[in-house]
Structure 1
Amino acid sequence: MDVHDFDRPAGIALVVLALLTLPLVLLRGRRKDVPEGAAPERPGLLRRHPRTVRTLLVAVVLGVGAVGWSVSSALTHPGDASTAARLADWAREHHLGAVVDQVKQAKAGALP
């Protein structure tokens, strides 16, 4: 099985799912099935710094939500432009023209 056998929406969904579950894994303390004699259980990050962690998580969720809302509205505009063209236009409108140019140059250099 090749990496390119996966369709893009499913791959993007897996990446988003992994990114959303990563904070939950990092916030947990030690697993309960640790054998006897192991190091004592250490409280998770959420128990040590609850207000800071929750504030950061809320900020990240709001930021990702705002960017997602903006990108989705740019992708659903009527017209015949491709998804790549719409994303490039969105990025340029949000002062990311240098990133678009770098990606374009890298893609042009990678083509035979």
Structure 2
Amino acid sequence: MDDWGDELPVINIEQVNQRFDKGSERMAAIERGLGGTTRELGQNNAELAKTRQELHELKQQLADLLEFFDAMQGAFKVLRWLGMLAKPMAAIVALGVALIGAWNAAKGIYPK
């Protein structure tokens, strides 16, 4: 051994080959793990695409439902306006019927 501490230990060919073999085994294990992970990612991507399609369909259905509710809101406004007109119209019709009845009673036409 030298005094400076930079002398490398003697490594023979067998030790180098053993290290390469262990490294190859580790790399093979890593590649097998990556293959499984790749398959899982493919499955997750397929499920994600399916979920996105379902969400798109749900969004379309909700848009249609909101459009229906907006239309119904407009219909209820029209019905409210008709209801507001119905009260005075009913009073006018009742007044007309009363006047016709009074006229007929005064003339003696109705009832006989």
TM-score (norm 1): 0.29
TM-score (norm 2): 0.29
Higher normalized contact order (CA 8 Å, seq sep 6+, divided by chain length): 1
Query: Higher helix share goes to which structure?
Result: 2
